[in-house]
Chain A
Amino acid sequence: MEIDSWYQRYGESVHRRCLRLCRNEQQALDLVQDVFLRAHRFRDTFRGEASPLTWLFTLATNCFFDTLKQPLHIDAAEVEALLCQERDGFEESFASHDLIVRLLSRSDEEVRMIVMHRYFDELELETIAERLGRSERTVRRKLLRFLEGARKLAEAQR
């Protein structure tokens, strides 16, 4: 792996992902550097089972949440407003909301991957299950639990 050529090819896509996580341009640029530094350090662990883009996005997610010293603040009213939307429209609003990242700061790594694949990558449950080596049923269950956890968090803070 030549990290320079990877940076040329994937840098902007990783930056876009980082920006969506950070919602701050400078932090996103710093995070991009962290991602490629980590990719460079651990290049021997990349065996090509996933595409480079998938691997770099995973690194971006891990780098971002690793830098958090504590879970991000969540406003109960925000969660409630989103979760109370019409069932069919809920996920669309949720996907574009930064609340998703704040909720993920309280989740384990596998849930993060599932949620990111669904709301950031817009993948089908079946594809997510295939990528993570889990059944579709398990992925669905974990996703529902994540959403339920968000709802309970909102209720607890009320």
Chain B
Amino acid sequence: MKSRIPRRFEPLSDFEIEAYLCGELDAAASGDVEHQAALNAGLRAYIDERQRARAAFAARHPLRIEPLPPRKRARNLALAFPLLAAAVVLVAVVPWQPTADPLQPGAADAVRVKGTPGLAIQLAVKRGDAVWQHREAIPLREGDQLMLALNSGAGYVSLLGRDAAGRITTYYDALRTEGGRFVAPGSLTLDAQAGDELWLVVVSSQPIAAAVYAASWNRGAPIEAAHTFIRIRKDAP
């Protein structure tokens, strides 16, 4: 048995290429991979193809686990309790439609995103049998369920929340929208934690991870995509 087995892209091992794609190699080792890619058209094509696949993967197949359970402010029922979530969605949507489709151009409470004609974002609240469009003037309570809807072109939408302590949680990560009416899957249920929360809705044409926006938000940098903030006011429990 030889010490080495033949490699698909000699002299690089498959693991070296993966590490390069993941940004784990230092500058010298990355330079080696780039050098080999310059010499080998097959490797160059493979790397290009993988980089395209990498850019699209997380948006196409979002992580389904709850991002940070110990810190979470809201719980995505669609992830934790699929059947219950399905029931909640049905109950929430049925009475919602006759009163006002949140995505109709004339909907009074839609948030129009500045500089982005045609993009309107709405948040519906369900408490018991009552359903209404979210307004900052009406404080929310523990157990209230919120559904995000928007009217936009094809792209990706992310929803993040920042609590009073400054912790940022991702609720939706680059969900694909086909254009037109889009209702985010499931609903978000407010927990008992006190204090207001600021939600950030970002809509982009590219599959950019919510983590990128979270990082920008965290350091006070501009959010480089169409976005809006929604303040979630909560009554004391």
Contacts and interface: CB of A to CB of B under 8 A. Distances in A.
Contacts of A97: none
A112 interface: no
Contact of B22 (A33, A36, A53, A126): A53
Interface string A34-64: 0011001000000000011100000000000
A4 B65 CA distance: 9
Contact of B211 (A5, A12, A123): A5
Query: Chain B: interface residue count, which band?
Result: 20 to 34
Contacts of A29: 61
Interface string B21-55: 11110000000000000000000000000100110
Main secondary structure of the interface of A (DSSP, over half): helix
A4 B24 contact: no
B209 interface: yes
A118 B1 CA distance: 12
B61 A13 contact: no
Contacts of A140: 1
Contacts of A143: 1
A2 B15 CA distance: 23
Contacts of B54: 11-13
Contacts of B99: none
Contact of A125 (B3, B8, B15): B3
Interface residues of A, number: 39
Contacts of B57: 11-12, 15
A52 B23 CA distance: 11
B173 interface: yes
B64 interface: yes
Given A2-B211, A123-B15, A91 B5 contact: yes
Contacts of A117: 15
A13 B63 contact: no
B166 interface: no
Nearest to A147: B1
A123 B18 CA distance: 12
Contacts of B178: none
Contacts, number: 93
B170 interface: yes
Interface in B143-174: 170, 173
Contact of A9 (B4, B15, B23): B23
A118 B65 CA distance: 32
B8 A122 contact: yes
Nearest to A20: B14
A130 interface: no
27 contacts: A3-B67, A3-B68, A4-B63, A5-B209, A7-B63, A9-B22, A11-B54, A11-B57, A12-B50, A12-B54, A13-B22, A15-B57, A33-B63, A36-B65, A91-B5, A91-B6, A92-B5, A92-B6, A117-B15, A122-B8, A122-B13, A124-B3, A124-B4, A125-B4, A126-B3, A140-B1, A144-B1
A-B pairs, top 6 by smallest CB distance, nearest first, are A121-B15, A12-B57, A122-B13, A12-B54, A8-B209, A122-B14
Interface of A: 2-5, 7-13, 15-16, 29, 32-33, 36-37, 40, 51-53, 91-92, 95, 117-126, 136, 140, 143-144
Given A12-B58, A36-B65, A126-B3, 11 more contacts: A3-B68, A4-B63, A8-B209, A12-B50, A32-B61, A51-B24, A53-B24, A120-B14, A122-B14, A123-B13, A125-B1
